[in-house]
């Protein structure tokens, strides 16, 4: 039996740079000959990418928070089954751009869905699989949206107050699980941040 791989996630609000760092980490590990796979949420497999389109479509203004929460979970359940479980069993290092913490931050702290409910549905969707390590790239909400530019999706178009609640939610998550979540200061340069990320990952691999 191959040993279980590692599950590393990147989290943070809009424009924080997490996708860039997920890619940089993927390239760094591949160069070292470590089996690595990069995925994103919502998405990563055909069905979940279709759900992503529904979730981010600006025309879906009527979508309520319960529907939104369940769709994020539905996309996650499919990705877990098709990719997360088999890749971890194979010993792959999985680098995922967002996971359950995003639903806790965006639909929980952001939209007011009870966090306990999200965690209960999350357990069902993920079969209890949790990241070994999570990087939370922390950045001021206004600065993050400025970096995203003008082509904003349904979630990004929400108010600054909403995005500030999301950021505060991430701080709660990080405060509750300091052993798993590493907070990265999104204001620093990409090089400084990637050096910190690489050092943490080198220690656990
Ligand atoms: P992305 O911009 O990082 O690709 O993520 C897509 C959007 O979906 C982003 O605005 C954050 C949002 N999102 C949630 O609201 N809840 C979730 O559970 C996930 C995974 C993403």
On the question of pLDDT at 1 being above 60, the answer is no
User: Under DSSP, is residue 177 helix (H, G, I), strand (E, B) or coil?
Assistant: coil
**Is residue 1 in a domain?**
no
**Is residue 116 in a domain?**
yes
Query: By alpha-carbon position, which residue is closest to atom 21 of ligand 1?
Result: 102
Phi, psi of 38 (to 5 degrees): -105, 130
- Concatenating the DSSP letter of every residue in 12-70 gives ESTTSSHHHHHHHHHHHHHHTT--EEEEESS-SSHHHHHHHHHHH-TT-TT--HHHHHH
Q: What number is the average pLDDT over the span 19-37?
A: 98
Contact (Cβ atoms closer than 8 angstroms) between residue 102 and residue 118: no
- Residue, of 72 and 149, whose pLDDT is higher: 72
**Is residue 133 in a domain?**
yes
**Is residue 88 in a domain?**
yes
On the question of pLDDT at 3 being above 70, the answer is no
- Domain limits for position 71: 7-204
**Is residue 138 in a domain?**
yes
* CATH value at residue 126: 3.40.50.300
Cα 3 to ligand 1 centre (Å): 30
Cα distance between residue 8 and residue 97, in whole Å: 9
Query: By alpha-carbon position, which residue is closest to atom 10 of ligand 1?
Result: 155
Q: What confidence category does residue 198 fall into, taking pLDDT thresholds of 50, 70 and 90?
A: very high
Q: What confidence category does residue 140 fall into, taking pLDDT thresholds of 50, 70 and 90?
A: very high
Ligand 1 pocket check: which of 76, 98, 117, 162 to mutate, most ligand atoms within 8 Å of Cβ?
Answer: 98
Indicate whether residue 44 lines ligand 1 (CB < 6 A): no
**Is residue 2 in a domain?**
no
How does the average pLDDT of the chain come out, rounded? 96
Instruction: Tally the domains of the chain.
Output: 1
Cα distance between residue 174 and residue 134, in whole Å: 9
**Is residue 85 in a domain?**
yes
Contact (Cβ atoms closer than 8 angstroms) between residue 21 and residue 137: yes
Indicate whether residue 39 lines ligand 1 (CB < 6 A): no
Q: What confidence category does residue 135 fall into, taking pLDDT thresholds of 50, 70 and 90?
A: very high
Cα 42 to ligand 1 centre (Å): 6
């Amino acid at each position: 039996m191959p040993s279980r791989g590692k599950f590393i996630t990147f989290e943070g609000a809009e424009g924080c740079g997490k996708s860039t760092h997920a890619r940089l980490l993927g390239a760094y590990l591949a160069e070292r000959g470590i089996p690595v796979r990069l995925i994103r949420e919502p998405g990563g497999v055909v069905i979940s990418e279709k759900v992503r389109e529904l979730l981010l479509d600006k025309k879906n203004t009527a979508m309520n928070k319960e529907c939104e929460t369940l769709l994020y979970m539905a996309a996650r359940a499919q990705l877990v089954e098709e990719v997360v479980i088999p890749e971890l069993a194979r010993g792959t290092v999985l680098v995922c751009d967002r996971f359950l913490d995003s639903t806790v931050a965006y639909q929980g702290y952001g939209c007011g869905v009870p966090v306990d409910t999200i965690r209960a549905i999350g357990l069902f969707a993920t079969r209890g699989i949790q990241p070994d390590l999570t990087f939370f790239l922390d950045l001021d909400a206004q600065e993050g949206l400025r970096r995203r530019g003008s082509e904003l999706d349904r979630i990004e178009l929400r108010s600054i107050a909403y995005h500030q609640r999301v950021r505060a939610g991430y701080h709660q998550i990080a405060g509750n699980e300091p052993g798993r979540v590493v907070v990265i200061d999104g204001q620093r340069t990409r090089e400084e941040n990637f050096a910190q990320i690489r050092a943490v990952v080198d220690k656990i691999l």
